[in-house]
C-alpha cells in the first residue's frame, strides 16, 4: 500500500499529473449517482479519487452539480480549503488507502463549517 500512498501524495500534495483516461475508466460512470447523493445528503461538495497502476484520477462535484476533473478538482479544493488543504488531505488519507485496499473507490461528502 506504500506505493499507492506515494502516488496519492504526489498527485494531491505535490502537483502531480493525473490521468484523464483513469477518470473515464473508473469514475465517470458514477457522476449521476454521486450527484444524487450530494443532493440527498445536502453536502456542500463531494469528491472521489482512485489509483491504478501508478496513475491517479479525481472527480469533484460542487453544490451546483458541476463536475471538476483531476487537476481542476484538486485546484478547486485548494482554493476552498486554503491552508487547511494539506492537513485535510492527510487526515483523509487513511480512509482513501483503506477503501482502495478493499477494492472500493473512496467517496467523501463534505459539509463546510458556516
pLDDT means over runs of 10, the chain (114 residues): 92 97 96 92 94 97 94 97 96 95 94 78
Question: pTM for the full model?
Answer: 0.92
Nearest CA among 95, 97, 100, 9 for reference residue 108: 95
pLDDT of residue 114: 66
pLDDT of residue 1: 59
Q: Cα–Cα distance between 40 and 108 in angstroms, integer?
A: 14
CA angle 28, 34, 36 (to 5 degrees): 130
**53's grid cell:** 497502476
Residue numbers of the domain that contains 19: 2-110
Q: How many domains does the chain have?
A: 1
pLDDT of residue 112: 82
pLDDT of residue 27: 96
CA angle 57, 73, 53 (to 5 degrees): 10
Q: Count Cα neighbours of 58 within 13 Å in the Cβ-side half-sphere.
A: 25
Amino acid at each position: 500500500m506504500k506505493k499507492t500512498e506515494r502516488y496519492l501524495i504526489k498527485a494531491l500534495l505535490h502537483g502531480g499529473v493525473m490521468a484523464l483516461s483513469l477518470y473515464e475508466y473508473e469514475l465517470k460512470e458514477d457522476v449521476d449517482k454521486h450527484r444524487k447523493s450530494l443532493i440527498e445528503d445536502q453536502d456542500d461538495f463531494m469528491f472521489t479519487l482512485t489509483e491504478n497502476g501508478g496513475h491517479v484520477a479525481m472527480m469533484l462535484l460542487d453544490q451546483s452539480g458541476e463536475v471538476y476533473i483531476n487537476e481542476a478538482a484538486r485546484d478547486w479544493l485548494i482554493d476552498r480549503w486554503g491552508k487547511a488543504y494539506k492537513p485535510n488531505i492527510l487526515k483523509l488519507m487513511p480512509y482513501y488507502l483503506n477503501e482502495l485496499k478493499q477494492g472500493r473507490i473512496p467517496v467523501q461528502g463534505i459539509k463546510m463549517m458556516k
